[in-house]
Each structure stands twice: as structure tokens, then as C-alpha cells.
Structure 1
Amino acid sequence: MSGSDETCSATVSVALCITVSLGTPSFAGIPATSVVTSTREVVAGDYDDREGYRSDFLGERFEVSLPQVSRATDDVLTFDDNGRQASVLRYKHFSVVMSRSRRMCFLSACNIDGRLSKKSARAAWKWDPRIPQAQQIMHECYGNPPKFSRGHMTRREDPGWGGDVEVARRGNEDSMHVTNTVPQMQAFNAPIWLALEDYSLQHARQDEMHISVFTGPFFSTHDRAMYGVLIPVAFWKVIAFIHDDTGRLCATGYQMDQKDQLPSAEFVYGEFDSPQLSVATQVPIAAIAERAGIDFGRLVDVDPLAGRHEEGVGATAPLQALEQIRFLR
């Protein structure tokens, strides 16, 4: 600079590009999970190509219809689907049926092809534009503890399969709709329930087999409200597949509750009680059907525990290991 006291200034325009990556922080050497985001507004027409759950997925001889809500039929949410009334939200490889009063799903039904399973990056949570946002729960009860986590019904990895990467990615991203979630305490995913989910997917991958998985909450008059949302306490899962040894259709049912994880001061259930707290149990599918008010069709008859419900046996012993699961009568 010269000895002048005057200050020289100039205005320079610089194009600045900032890339922000959202994901889970890395701890103890565990890699962070990337999150795929999109700025394009999604519209109902974007879902016209979604086939959803397929009843013939296990083979024409083993058709398994989408379970039907049999008790609270008036509470099933309907919506306009290209000029006709529909009640099934179809996604890539899975479908969801919603409860109008509870603003969450009665059930989520997924087809899994173990031969074509692929890993995909985690996507951001999203609304489904086919139904009003007022019929979905995005924020109210979800957040850091003591609020709830968004518990997938159809697990993120389950529909993430296909003949090419794009198809698998679409299934993965579709699982991130809030219509596919139910409030769950973060501690709810006890080891055996998580192991059961891993078992079904890994077994399909290893044996290169097709399976269909149905999951949902038990809605109860005992459910209490937190953050303006009625919180389900218990959940069910039904897995249908062709048995390796018999070559026949087989289905097994499970239930688990998160009562132990819920704040006791907020939840007083009176006569509602379960001896299997926080532990998954294999139960007759007929018992799930009765408690959930859902018709599982032929799956009740191909359950290895079929008949035990009529005999007054509601559940087997709590599952401490996957080897306890009964697949044959």
C-alpha cells in the first residue's frame, strides 16, 4: 500500500456452492449412514406405477391375499385414486392400509425377494401426497427422548430389492413415508424382535427365496395419548413363505409390546397386562387376527400353531432364541 490514508474498496461477486450431507454421525468406527434428499415436490401421480403388495408373489398355487381390516372397517382411510375410491396405499414392493382415526397404519404388507436384495442409502422422511397431511403424523410425537422414534412397520431394507439399483432404491425410499411408521420408544427394538426381522430378511437372502411379511400395531381402547397421539403398546408380525422341506405354504405369527419402555406415570392400563413384556412371542395367527381385528385369510390355516388358539392357548413361551420358532406342526 502507499502512504495514502484513503481506503480502497471493491465489490466482488463470487459464486459459492455449498454441499450439505445429512446422516448419522460415526461412532466407534461405525460408518455414518448417508441420507438421500430431494427438493422436487412429490405429487400423487408419481405413484401411478407402484404395484404394491402382490398376492401371487409366492407363486400362483400359494396366493396370499392382502390382509383385510375386519372389525373397524368404517375407520379404514379411503382416498381418490385417479377417479376411484381406494383404501390401499401402494408403494414399491409393499402396501399400507391406514386408520383414519389413529392417523397411522392398520398394517403394512411387503414382498421380499432375497435373490435381488440390495443395499441403498437412507432417504429422508416424507409425506404421502395421495392423502391429506392431516391424516399423517410427521412431527407431533416424534423427536428426541422422551418423544418417540418413527418405527418402521415395513422395514427399510425389506422392499429394497430389484433387478437393478434404481428399483431397489425406490423400494428403500418408499419405506420412508410416515404412513409406514408407528410411534415406538427407541429402546423397544429388543434384541429378539430385531433379530427376528434380521432373520426373515437374511434367510430370504441366503436361500434366495420369496417371503411376504405383514406388520402392524394392535390398536386398543387402553391406548393413552401422548403429545396428542394415541400410542399403541403392542405390535404383531406375520411371515409367510414356502417351507424348504415340505414345499407347502407356511406362516408364523409373533407379537411384542413396548409397555416396559413407556413412561409409567403416563400409562396406567388397569386390567391390560401381558406376561411377555418386551419379549417377542410366537403366537397363533388366529390370536393376532382376533386381537387386531384383521382377516389373514388362508394364513390362519397354514400356521404351525393353528388350533392352539381354539384350545385356549394364546401364546407360546417368550422367544429367547430364534431356534425356538416353530415352523412345522
Structure 2
Amino acid sequence: MTAATPLGYDEAFLVIPLPLPRPVGDRAVRELPYPRFTVLLDPSRRLAAMTAVNIDGGALRDIARTGEWFLDERIPVGEQAGPAVYASNDVDRGHLVRRRDPGWGAPAEARAATEATFAYPNAAPQASVFNQSKELWLGLEDHVLEYADTTDQRVSVFTAPVLAATDPEYRGVQIPRRFFKVAAWSSTDDDPLRTTDPGIVGPRLLAAGFVLDQSELIDVREGVLATPPLSAYRTFQVPIADIEALAGVDLGPLVAADVLPPAAGFADGTVRGGDAWRPLGAADDVVLA
């Protein structure tokens, strides 16, 4: 990376300060700053508990794919889900912070930032089936950016696997069944996406939350990870309060900024899942206003 490339997620990137979300309780994490994004790594699970990236949609560059996956030398190898997890199987090294998201600004800085996304702490095991639902998941930031284009084209995105205790184990790593994503942007008085509440003056934080469920795609009963060929990823828009409870993370002001009307929470301690969430089949199904 170049010396001028700022390291880590910037809490002041949007008009309204937005702190880096963190796991609740005493869960230990390793904070790993990279150019324009940060990974909070759970060393016991060897996977990220949170990633946070700043995206300047007005300055994104079309950077050719360069870079190779690498272990982060700042932490022990045993705390990272490295190449052995992904070898000779149907498991993808799924980028949590997408390669193109931090690739904005000066060309050299943009390239350094995109190459940094190949750090293994920024990867998580995902079933390799590629279908419409997965394409939708990968394009959610783009869809939010298009809407945020009415303001300053800046979006902060938080993505991670849901690290559940019941996730199946494979090659020493528990494979996440679900992933979450929360996109946040700021809205101004003349933004058509802005609430019409006359009592709110000045910039307002807005956010949308999503869950990808790959539960039906993973099978480790025979000691290998198999992906049923006809199954599908399921993608949902979800109340951010549900994500906070499901993933055990403190999403702070993002809960109140949710553009999705609130639903019944987890008062009874049960996770409702897809039966109560908004299923997405296309980008037009996303609620952003």
C-alpha cells in the first residue's frame, strides 16, 4: 500500500459520525486496519466478527483484478482460516469487504486498497453455487449507492458472518450458515429518500440491513463440505435490530436509522428467520425509502 493510503474504517466518513460496530460482551477480537476498511477478527472462530468499509461512490475506479490471497502477518497463522480450508472442495473464499469497495480515489491508493481485500481475515467460507440470489447479495452495495447518489454518494458498509455456536465444523473451522450486511448513508433535507417528518432538520443517518442464508447449501455429514446443486442462496432484507440480536453485535445508531419498518423483535429469545423476513428476488424488492 502507499504511504498516503489511510488505514482503517473512518468513523467520520459520512456527514454523521458512525462508530465501528463491535461484538457485545467480552468476546475477544483482533482489530486489523487495512486501506479504507477494518476487520474485527474473532481468533477463536478464525473468522471476522465484523468488517467495515467506506465507499465513495463518486470516486470509484474500475481497477483490474490484481492481488493474491495472503495471510496477515500481524496475527498468528492459527487465528486465520487460511488456504487449507478452501483447497480441493466447493468452498469459495468469499470476500466480506468486496474487492471493489475501497477502490476509489487516486489510482495507486485505489489499487492498494483493492489488493488488501485479499487478506484471509477478510474471507469467509461460502458455498460455490452461483445464482441469482448470490448475485443479488454481491450487488446490494451498488443498489444502495445508486440511491445514495442523490446526496454525496458515500456509503459505509458492515458485513460479517453470523458466528453461531451451532455452525457445522469443517477442517477445524465452523462454517457460517448466515451472513449479514448493513449499509448506511446520510440524507439531506432535499433528498427524496428522506423522511417527511418536519421535526427532523439537517442530515439524517439512514441504513438498510440484509441477511444471506446458505443453510441449505452446506452438508458436512461425511467429513467434506458438499453443496446441493439445485439449492439456492436465500437473501432477505431484515430489521437491523434483528441482525443485532442474531449476530451478537452492537450496531449502535444503525438500529434507529433503519429504513425498514420495525417488526417484532426477539423478546421471546427465538430467531424467526426467513419466515418473518422480507425475501429478495431482485434489487427492486429492496426497501430504501
**TM-score, normalised with respect to structure 2:** 0.81
Q: Which amino acid aligns with 2:61?
A: K
Report the equivalent of 1:261. Answer: 217
1:119 Cα deviation from its structure 2 partner:
2.1
Aligned to 1:67: 21
Q: What residue number does 2:117 align with?
A: 175
Compared CA separation, residues 202 and 150, structure 1 to 2 (3 A): farther
Structure 1 residue 49: Cα displacement: 6.3
> 2:148–2:185: 8 Å Cα contact kept in structure 1?
no
What residue ranges of structure 1 are gaps of 5+ in the alignment? 1-41, 78-87, 268-276
C-alpha distance 116-49 of structure 1, shift in aligned 2 (>3 A): closer
Secondary structure in structure 1 of the residue aligned to 2:139: helix
Q: 1:193 to 1:134 in 2, by over 3 A?
A: same
5+ residue gaps, structure 2, are 195-202, 224-231
Q: Which residue of 2 aligns with 1:131?
A: 75
Change (3 A) 1:208 1:260: same
Pick closer, same or farther for the CA change 1:64–1:265 going to 2, 3 Å. same
1:297 partnered with 2:252: yes
Aligned residues: 261
Which residue of 48, 54, 61 corresponds with 1:118? 61
Alpha-carbon offset, residue 261 of structure 1: 1.6
Matched, 1:284 2:267: no
Structure-1 separation of matches of 2:58 and 2:135: 26
Cα offset for 1:264? Answer: 6.4
Distance in 1, Cα, partners of 2:222 & 2:245: 27
CA 1:131–1:205: 2 relative to 1, 3 Å: farther
Question: Which of 1 and 2 has higher RCO (CA within 8 Å, sep 6+)?
Answer: 2
Task: Give the residue type in structure 2 aligned to 1:199.
Answer: H
Match of 1:171, as an amino acid? A
Please give the alpha-carbon distance, in whole angstroms, between the structure 1 residues aligned to 2:240 and 2:216.
24
The percent of aligned pairs where both chains have the same amino acid is 35
Residues 204, 155 of structure 1: CA spacing in aligned structure 2 closer, same or farther, 3 A cutoff? farther
1:4 equivalent in structure 2: none
Whether 2:127 is the aligned partner of 1:185: answer yes
Larger CA Rg, structure 1 vs 2: 1
Q: 1:101 aligns with which of 44, 52, 57?
A: 44
SS at match of 1:75: coil
Output the CA distance in 2 between the equivalents of 1:287 and 1:234. Answer: 13
Aligned residue for 1:252, secondary structure, equals strand
Change (3 A) 1:188 1:225: farther
- Structure 1 residue aligned with 2:35: 92
Q: Aligned partner of 2:154: which letter?
A: H
Decide whether aligned partners of structure 1 residues 130 and 48 sit closer, same or farther in structure 2, where only a CA change above 3 A counts.
Answer: farther
The answer on whether the counterparts of 1:140 and 1:228 sit within 8 Å (CA) in structure 2 is: no
Indicate the SS of the match to 1:241. Answer: strand
- Deviation digits for residues 68-124 of structure 1 (CA, Å, limit 9, x no counterpart): 1114x33323xxxxxxxxxx2111110000101111110110000011111223211
Whether contact under 8 Å (1:160, 1:171) holds in the other structure is: yes
Q: Does 1:225 align with 2:180?
A: no
Check if 1:154 corresponds to 2:133: no
2:59 is aligned with what amino acid? L
For residue 321 of structure 1, what is the amino acid of its counterpart?
A
Distance in 1 (alpha carbons) for counterparts of 2:141 and 2:108:
24
Counterpart of 2:29, as a letter, is: V
Q: 1:152 to 1:241 in 2, by over 3 A?
A: same
In the alignment, the residues of structure 1 paired with residue 48 and residue 3 of structure 2 have an alpha-carbon distance, to the nearest angstrom, of 18
Q: Which moved more, 1:236-245 or 1:304-313?
A: 304-313
Q: Distance in 1 between matches of 2:266 and 2:42?
A: 32
Conserved? CA contact 1:116–1:161, under 8 Å: yes
| Other structure's SS at 2:84 match | coil
- Compute the displacement of 1:171 (Å): 0.8
Distance 1:155 1:94 in 2: 10
Alpha-carbon distance in structure 2 between the residues aligned to 1:91 and 1:98 = 13
Q: Structure 2 vs 1, CA of residues 140 and 309 (structure 1 numbering), >3 Å: closer, same or farther?
A: farther
How far apart, in 2, do the equivalents of 1:54 and 1:289 lie? 21
Partners of 2:266 and 2:40 in 1: how far apart?
A: 31
Q: One-letter code of the match for 1:166?
A: A
Helix, strand or coil at the partner of 2:125: strand
Aligned twin of 1:54:
10
SS in 1 for 2:70: coil
SS in 1 for 2:234: coil
Alpha-carbon distance, 1:304 to partner: 2.1
Q: Distance in 2 between matches of 1:114 and 1:159?
A: 10
